[in-house]
Amino acid sequence: MNQNDYVLIMAGGIGSRFWPESRTAYPKQFLDLLGTGKSLLQWTFHRFRHIVPSENIFFITNHAYVETLQNQLPEVAAGNIISEPSRKNTAPCIAYFAHKIQTINPHANIIVSPADHLIMDETGFVRTAHEALRYVADHAALLTLGIKPTRPDTGYGYIQYENSDETKSVFRVKTFTEKPSLELAQTFLKSGDFLWNAGIFVWNVQSILEAIERYLPEMHEVFSQAKNVYNTPQEQAAITELYQQCTNISIDYGIMEKAQNVFVIPSYFGWCDLGTWESAYENSEKDYLGNAVYGNDVMIIDATECMVKVHNDKLVLLQGLEKMIVIDTPDVLLVCERSREQQIKEYVAEVKRQKGERYL
């Protein structure tokens, strides 16, 4: 493995679309949503151990989740867990890490990845990741991994790329499109030159710092102020103060949609952004009636194509349901049409309005 290669795993999200299983105090990246015996975070860490040295894997998470992360991954050194004082979207945390890692290794090649993706073909992912790291080591490129779409999904962002030369594996990006309408997504699928945006980025530290300085100059200035305290006992206090000055903005909107040196590798490694109960259903084993069931004592009577997750110590009998989500927790029961699952985030907001923070 190359000692210049690093990974930043972003693990600070709330995952409100997986409510009521995912809660503010214990969000989805720490959950075993598919009954595998490991949380999404643990799977992500173990996947990247095949790509870079374990000591080169860093995590950035909200300060409230540091202890939970340490409990789930006790083998990770405390210095590799970066505490984010507040949620400011992806650009600030990536800018923070880029400035920090530059003081450790000015030649660092970095993969930035969410903590909650599902990847079925780990061998294919490892191969693509190594290819991406070698490319950014030799080119001043901001690289992203794009997934060949299999359906006109309106829940993903799309990347259009120049694919005139089929002998190449890395292509220049033409446009980014956030969550399109169904009609537009169908057009993208037919065109053949659009990919799903997986939100996995690869670059050399110098390339991303130059981009931050050019497109987010105020944010670059903020983190440059701390250059003398990175990787010292004074770092956390300085970052807590400086984070307040950062704009809440995504790396996609802040840099990737504006930069001219953005490239993509069309990828085929069984990727899924495990972001909703519908995506969990699609990636679960199902019974002969099409039900995905998690729970030891679930009885199905004339129920079809349901996503069911209940605690093992409770008997649950389902009759007459079709294409429903049924999620049972000690204090919340959710019964929702699968076709309405994109609205769960709205339902959570309504719960907060009527019931306060108790069930969040």
Q: Which of 61-65, 91-95, 174-178 shows the lowest mean pLDDT across its residues?
A: 174-178
User: What CATH number should be reported for the domain whose range is 5-275?
Assistant: 3.90.550.10
3-class SS of residue 29: helix
The pLDDT tens digits for 287-323 are: 999 999 999 999 999 999 999 999 888 999 999 999 9
Confidence band (pLDDT; 50, 70, 90) for 165? Answer: low
Confidence band (pLDDT; 50, 70, 90) for 155? Answer: confident
| Mean pLDDT of the residues in the chain | 93
How confident is the model at residue 21, as a pLDDT?
93
Q: In this predicted model, which residue has the larger pLDDT, 81 or 35?
A: 81
For residues 325 and 334, give the distance between their C-alpha atoms in angstroms, rounded to a whole number: 7
Q: What percent of the chain has pLDDT over 70?
A: 99
Q: What are the structural domain ranges in the chain?
A: 5-275, 284-355
- For the chain, the distance separating the N- and C-terminal CA atoms, rounded to the nearest angstrom, is 42
How confident is the model at residue 274, as a pLDDT?
85
Which H, E and C letters describe 213-266, residue by residue?
HHHCHHHHHHHHCCCCCCCCCCHHHHHHHHHHHCCCCCHHHHHHCCCCCEEEEE
For residues 172 and 259, give the distance between their C-alpha atoms in angstroms, rounded to a whole number: 11
For residues 142 and 259, give the distance between their C-alpha atoms in angstroms, rounded to a whole number: 8
For residues 88 and 246, give the distance between their C-alpha atoms in angstroms, rounded to a whole number: 7
How confident is the model at residue 166, as a pLDDT?
62
Confidence band (pLDDT; 50, 70, 90) for 243? Answer: very high
Is 210's pLDDT higher than 60? yes
How confident is the model at residue 294, as a pLDDT?
94
Rounded to 5 degrees, φ, ψ at 153 are -80, 130
The pLDDT tens digits for 330-351 are: 999 999 999 988 889 899 999 9
Buried b (16+ CB within 10 A) or exposed e, 304-332: bebbbbbeeeeebebeebeebbbbbeeeb
User: Structure pTM?
Assistant: 0.92
